[in-house]
Amino acid sequence: MEFEPGHLKRVKKDNPQEITKLRVFYVGQTSRTAEQRYEQHKSGYKAGRKWVINYGKHLVPLDVPNPNLGRGISESLAKEIYRLSRRSKADPRIREAKVAQLLRDQGFCVISH
């Protein structure tokens, strides 16, 4: 994926690991459903740095059993990501950071807050 120069610096800073997978994930937190928040991002509502507007191709909900993370992801990892992605009383910022790190550890590029 080609990033704008200003975004590329942030992507490299947040993803110092070797990126071995082609998919790029944007991981965020919301009180809405993933579908509602994705549509808000695409329409520009509270879109922040416009990552989703500029680079979003489709939604990959992580808070569903067996999220579609692509090939090479173990069932146990998918279950852990699902567990962390579901709404709970735990701090959403911590859960978001853990999901982002799990994906980075698998070689994905991750954009998160």
Q: Is the pTM of this model over 0.85?
A: no
The angle formed by the CA atoms of residues 22, 24 and 30, to the nearest 5 degrees, is: 160
Amino acid in the structure at residue 46: K
Query: What are the 10-residue block averages of pLDDT along the chain, 113 residues in total?
Result: 73 76 78 82 78 77 80 84 82 86 88 79
Name residues whose C-beta falls within 8 Å of residue 48's C-beta, 6 or more positions apart in sequence: none
Domain ranges of the chain: 5-29+62-112
pLDDT at position 101, please? Answer: 92
Q: What is the pLDDT of residue 38?
A: 83
Helix (H, G, I), strand (E, B) or coil at 22: coil
Supply the pLDDT for residue 1: 65
DSSP string, 46-89: T-TT-HHHHH------SSSSS----TT--HHHHHHHHHHHS--S
